[in-house]
Chain A
């Protein structure tokens, strides 16, 4: 196991060095060691000499794709797990970044991260878009199910469950910082014209915030789990977004981050879209 990761790391380092020294990219976004022991942090490598700082370990759970938005217009390489490539695909679909500006070093046959429950629900184990593949792609598809842990609850029970969960929210917005979808210059929680939701911590506004957040993510969230890992209160952050993911998939056959040519969920429609639940 250990050797597999060091193999990947070695490959990344070699390729990165080549890319940087040949001037194919201006920088490479990847994972490296942080200041604390064992800490893994995003690093930005611009000199070929520093390429060996790049690492890949089972702890590399951050989504790096978001950093691409900071380097629009200059050629940037990125070390990307399959989920990162889905995030990149979402960006490409909205033309937030240009394909020619990025160089994707994609990691094949992702086994998922132990820390992240979302990985168990992920069927995308090879990069969706890639320029250079690290490792052998996984050939056989894997059967996964995007679980619904609250399935057996009645609506009232779910309501109470969410009340309890969201009551713990301290509105620190770590979820937002971790999420690649959250790329607005001004977050709706900070808007005061209008004020969409009260900013103080309280059950009412917390619940409202989480509903709005989920709606905001719909059609873009890829169920990567970054928000849940980031949440210091251990709130079940994915329950709502995951449900909308399932709904979009089942009702509209739409799954974000798989096809850069596909318009986002709410920017398109079909004449025969479902009207389930509408009053006839």
Chain B
């Protein structure tokens, strides 16, 4: 068994890190200081650039993590101290008293309703009130209540005590004390997130002074259907519909005055998102104005999103500094006074002004890091090295997400997976070897029931008063007993209590039951628990059918007891009928191989290979060129300005010296067979390379094939000796062949990016250009450097470079796409004509050197690998991950992972993080002894299949193929995730889904309507 790892912070980064570690067989303590998991993402309404519903995508992740057998979650718990060293840390934590016994509380919420105390609700940013006993948010996990110790009448004044009286489960305990524990862990991951800037930090925006000025996080709650106004957008002062709304970007970021000089990296995009969502919400809105300096839409898919917003009627982008924000005291409207780049003032009135507040470090974490002598940067975030971006200065302590600097959700998830991979190395290194025999013993064999007549047991839960107070449970139980095939029915006060779960097992044995129906709360939270109970009774856990008579019945029909009772009976009838047809299901084992493939030997590929090898798996690294290194071979600088060549050389040496890594340079993949756990790759030598074809087997594939610099003749690119690309400039600098007499240097940004046919930002070029300009300016202070740009996108800390470049005298001149600079060769001289918008004049100047920031483009032959591996490309030719937000290194096809430039433009440091993440996700497959299929998977009856391939078309996981043997479609169970799309597209109904089969659904439906027989015939013959 591996040693445990602690993850501090239960937001999306912490959840991902904990889940990945658990999946790698590493025990995890996940510590969160608020009452529920979910963090900031749980507060969001929708997420850019897909407008996915935040809760919809987050909730399944939370429950997977919380229910993971390797993860122990400590909510409402503070980390007090960390002592020790890598491999052997002692962490002292304090579990704060909820005054509620977590194991006893069912989260029914009766106490919340009765509690007389009202307190500002921090989840809703203090915009509404919650009770003194509360859930942090409705879908919060764990699903238990918490007493607010500051405001509870009982705790403070020894009055009230209603919650204790009302709770049947005796879950209230006013005498709870904080409990301190010391936990031994091998490594620690900081995923502690951020504080949002408070609007009051920037006085000129009038936050707090003017009620109609709010922060973006507050606005996020207003947008949410479960927020304070249920998604209605209204003025704070009078609740009138807001018709004109302004968004102010960079409120608090990129601002020397607030000491937050960095760019918060996410505000441009979330402001655009909020603008778009606002537009969707209401047709009545007249104008949505965004005040910005640069639109930093640099991530994957962001530029398209931005263009959509720009093209949306009523959404206006105003490149304008906000000088003042005032209130019209009569109308309570907010007056925004702006100053655009040409120096013109503007004045507009708005009903609502939303401040795009930035991200700042979590002050508690900063303090603690300082105390623990972990280095923090000048802004207070954890300091990391760009080449080891997930490690803190303390060995064995890692960081991910915003704890190490502003970033968005996918980047946080990437870092989380990467940090988990690194922590796993330590945890596995120091752990004892796994005791597999013990595991074997635990496996239970279930009673074989296929040949038995159906004998159903029905258990109806009162859930205290929650169901019992509305539904006539005794009557329902009594009537259930008369349903066909029901042998036993029973009502229970709390079915989920440990003794009653055991009782279910006893009844199964006693009454020889072979199907169990549980009528209680929602299967989304309790199905796992009741399945376990069924398994204790010696039955296959999938012989359970649950029906929800609480959340979707008694709670929502409180005043209609009779109707709710009938509904409950109908639902039980349906469940019983379904149970009749339900079959035992297995998660079958699939053998797998231990080796990993990494395709592409650039920095990403080499990092991924090393990471996988360090976790403990043999790796085959395939590189098309004769030398490892990829694009980085051409780089002069790392993003922070260190020489790149040495770094690449070091990596290369490490790879070649690693016994676990077998490297094939000059080879490419010519054929891919198999699937997760069992791939077979055929490698062919490239032209001119001596060597024979290889066939190698392995369990996973990491795609790290990189990208290329655009070849273009625009602006005389490649046509003139004085016109170079940024990479060529770096090459010249390295070769020291920069002519000394350069007086006038121009750089042009976005060459081939951000316009058709490449509607995306190449992300790295702004910082690359700025860094190169700084390098030149520092060595040749007299040199006149002008950068022609569209938006400067020096996100995050790179904003520091932008500021430095300006301080050094580098000139920045903006141009519009419609008015691109013109470059001409006039008798060997480079002439550049452009318009300077600040002074509003056309200029024509001569350049001694013109440097083009050319687009990063996908590898031309990506489509070959894409087809071989059955993984998709996006419209720009980059590989397309399974989910842009939450699965940024996985493909929908299991066992194939993605990192580096093959995924999209990114810099060296980001590539390293993503490579670690891809290796970590791949290791999740490799660490297992065998793979388990899902139980509820599709199956195709070959006798009915007509091989029309429609199921193959609709399957999102490439899990179906035509069998070579039968010529009929066949489901690969290890890839199937049980969505059932194949079952409904299949014309001859050959495809069906276990657990939700046609037969089960039809039976359920029939039983619900069993009371509706056709009316008797009147006079008509049969």
Contacts and interface: CB of A to CB of B under 8 A. Distances in A.
A and B touch in the complex (CB under 8 A): yes
B943 A185 contact: yes
22 contacts: A94-B948, A94-B949, A94-B950, A95-B947, A96-B946, A183-B946, A184-B946, A184-B988, A185-B943, A185-B944, A185-B946, A186-B944, A191-B989, A193-B998, A194-B998, A194-B999, A196-B1002, A202-B1022, A204-B1014, A266-B954, A267-B950, A267-B985
> Which of A191, A194, A267 has the most B CB atoms < 10 Å from its CB?
A194
Q: Which 10 A-B pairs have the closest CB atoms?
A: A184-B988, A194-B1002, A94-B948, A267-B953, A267-B950, A194-B999, A194-B998, A193-B999, A266-B985, A95-B949
A264 B988 CA distance: 15
Interface string A154-192: 000000000000000000000000000001111010010
Contacts of B988: 184-186, 188
B623 interface: no
A268 interface: yes
> Which of B943, B989, B1014, B1022 has the most A CB atoms < 10 Å from its CB?
B989
Interface residues of B, number: 19
A251 B603 CA distance: 49
Contacts of A195: 1002
B85 interface: no
Nearest to B1002: A194
A268 B943 CA distance: 25
B114 interface: no
B954 A267 contact: yes
Contacts of B947: 95-96
A184 B985 CA distance: 13
Contacts of B1022: 202
B1003 interface: yes
Contacts of B985: 266-267
A194 B1014 CA distance: 20
Contacts of B943: 185-186
Interface in B71-94: none
Nearest to A195: B1002
A10 interface: no
B948 A96 contact: yes
B987 interface: yes
A257 to B, nearest CB: 14
A263 interface: yes
A216 interface: yes
Interface of B: 943-944, 946-950, 953-954, 985, 987-989, 998-999, 1002-1003, 1014, 1022
A148 to B, nearest CB: 26
Nearest to A200: B1022
Interface in A186-227: 186, 188, 191, 193-196, 202, 204, 216
A160 B120 CA distance: 60
Given A186-B944, A204-B1014, A216-B987, A266 B949 contact: no
Interface of A: 94-96, 183-186, 188, 191, 193-196, 202, 204, 216, 263-264, 266-268
Contact of A263 (B944, B953, B989, B999): B953
A195 B1006 CA distance: 11
A266 B944 CA distance: 19
Nearest to A69: B946
> Which of B948, B988, B999, B1022 has the most A CB atoms < 10 Å from its CB?
B948
A271 to B, nearest CB: 11
B1003 A194 contact: yes
A191 B989 CA distance: 9
A266 B1003 contact: no
A95 B1002 contact: no
A188 B953 contact: no
Given A186-B989, A267-B985, 15 more contacts: A94-B950, A95-B948, A95-B949, A96-B946, A96-B947, A184-B988, A185-B946, A188-B988, A193-B999, A194-B1003, A196-B1002, A202-B1022, A204-B1014, A216-B987, A267-B954
Contacts of A196: 1002
A96 B953 CA distance: 14
Contacts of A188: 988-989
B455 to A, nearest CB: 21
A268 B952 CA distance: 11
B894 to A, nearest CB: 22
Nearest to B962: A95
A268 B953 CA distance: 7
A247 to B, nearest CB: 18
> Which of A191, A195, A196, A267 has the most B CB atoms < 10 Å from its CB?
A267
Contacts of A184: 944, 946, 987-988
A193 to B, nearest CB: 5
Nearest to A216: B987
Contacts of A263: 950, 953
Contacts of A183: 946
Nearest to B941: A186
A264 B1014 CA distance: 37
A96 B948 CA distance: 6
A194 B999 CA distance: 5
A266 B1014 CA distance: 33
> Which of A183, A185, A196, A268 has the most B CB atoms < 10 Å from its CB?
A185
B283 to A, nearest CB: 12
Nearest to A94: B948
Contacts of B1014: 204
Nearest to B998: A194
Nearest to B1001: A194
Contacts of A193: 998-999
A89 to B, nearest CB: 14
Contacts of B1002: 194-196
A193 B1003 CA distance: 10
A183 B990 CA distance: 13
A191 B987 CA distance: 12
Contacts of A216: 987
A185 B943 CA distance: 8
Contacts of B989: 186, 188, 191
Contacts of A266: 950, 954, 985
A194 B953 CA distance: 25
A198 to B, nearest CB: 11
Contacts of B954: 266-267
A277 to B, nearest CB: 20
A268 B981 CA distance: 12
A232 B784 CA distance: 91
B742 to A, nearest CB: 50
Contacts of B987: 184, 216
A64 B756 CA distance: 49
B1008 to A, nearest CB: 15
B877 to A, nearest CB: 19
Contacts of B1003: 194
A191 B988 CA distance: 10
Contacts of B999: 193-194
A115 B303 CA distance: 59
Nearest to B1006: A194
A95 B962 CA distance: 11
Nearest to A201: B1022
A193 B950 CA distance: 22
Nearest to A182: B987
A264 B987 CA distance: 12
Contacts of B944: 184-186
A95 B953 CA distance: 12
A264 B951 CA distance: 11
Contacts of A204: 1014
A97 B987 CA distance: 17
A280 to B, nearest CB: 11
A186 B1002 CA distance: 18
Nearest to B949: A95
Nearest to B1020: A203
A95 B967 CA distance: 12
A195 B988 CA distance: 13
B883 to A, nearest CB: 16
Contacts of A186: 943-944, 988-989
Contacts of A191: 989
